[in-house]
């Protein structure tokens, strides 16, 4: 006599293995984690540089004797600038190279078009803004603060409002990127932290998921 499947009520919760359709290629995983570590290095080294002069200005020049747009409540520390600048310079160029590989490969493989179907409209706009607006703006303002680049491309500095304006914009964009990172991590946690991390490390989530069936 065949077995009769038990009736399930709308409140029954069923645990089952779900093979998520999301896949991450090796290139995506490597560039993602490299970008994560590089961004951390940029934030730490940037903070070390900022401590040497925790004041922000608009325009071309700024000094301790001139009025600041914002005076940050940070301790003055001149002893961290050396290693901070060296690490920041190295990490910045790694970030540019890594980001270029990620973007060009995404365009060539049409991955961006495929991935866009998996996210909400607000998520799409947020990621597009980070990749195609905020990161390029970070690069432009970072280059504008370099004396050598400023001498070679004076129009870049003037288009951003001057050296100090470039520094202030650089700081503000960093804050926005930090907010994005916090939001990104929160979304990963809420959508299944272990499976998402596994997917970004191994490429296949393959998680045990609890679902409610009606």
Q: How far apart are CA 42 and CA 44, in angstroms?
A: 6
Q: Kindly state whether residue 64 falls inside one of the protein's structural domains.
A: no
Q: What pLDDT, on a 0 to 100 scale, did the predictor assign at position 177? A: 97
72 with 56: CB under 8 angstroms? yes
Count of structural domains, the chain: 1
Whether 99 is in a domain gets the answer yes
**pLDDT 10s per residue in the chain (214 long)?**
444 444 444 444 444 444 444 567 888 899 999 999 999 999 999 999 999 999 999 998 888 888 999 999 999 999 999 999 999 999 999 999 999 999 898 888 877 766 656 677 888 899 889 999 999 999 999 999 998 888 999 999 999 999 999 999 999 999 999 999 999 999 888 888 888 888 888 877 655 444 433 3
In this prediction the pTM is 0.80
CATH number at residue 148: 1.20.950.20
Q: Copy the structure tokens of residue 149.
A: 């680049």
Predicted confidence at residue 4, as pLDDT, reads 47
> What is the per-residue pLDDT for 208?
45
Under 8 Å between Cβ of 72 and 54: yes
Domain limits at 89? 24-59+74-199
Please check whether residue 74 is in contact with residue 116, taking contact to mean a CB–CB distance below 8 angstroms.
no
Q: What is the pLDDT of residue 115?
A: 62
Do the beta carbons of residue 90 and residue 42 sit within 8 Å?
no
| Angstrom distance (rounded) from CA 104 to CA 100 | 6
The pLDDT, as a whole number, for residue 83 is: 95
For residue 73, the model assigns a pLDDT of 94
């Amino acid at each position: 006599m065949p077995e009769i499947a038990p009736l399930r009520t709308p409140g029954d919760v069923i645990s089952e293995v779900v093979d998520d359709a999301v896949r991450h290629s090796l290139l995506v995983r490597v560039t993602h984690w490299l970008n994560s570590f590089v961004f951390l290095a940029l934030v730490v080294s940037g903070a070390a540089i900022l401590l040497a002069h925790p004041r922000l200005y608009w325009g071309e020049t700024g000094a301790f004797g001139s009025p600041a747009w914002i005076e940050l409540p940070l301790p003055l520390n001149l002893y961290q600038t050396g290693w901070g600048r060296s690490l920041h310079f190295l990490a910045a160029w790694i970030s540019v190279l890594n980001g270029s590989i990620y973007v060009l490969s995404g365009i060539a493989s049409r991955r961006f078009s495929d991935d866009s179907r998996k996210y909400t409209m607000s998520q799409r706009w947020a990621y597009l803004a980070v990749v195609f607006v905020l990161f390029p703006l970070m690069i432009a303002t970072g280059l504008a603060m370099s004396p050598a680049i400023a001498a070679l491309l004076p129009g870049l500095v003037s288009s951003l409002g001057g050296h100090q304006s470039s520094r202030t914009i650089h700081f503000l964009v960093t804050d926005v990127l930090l907010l994005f990172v916090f939001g990104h991590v929160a979304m990963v946690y809420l959508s299944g932290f272990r499976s998402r991390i596994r997917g970004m490390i191994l490429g296949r989530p393959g998680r045990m998921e609890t679902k409610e069936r009606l």
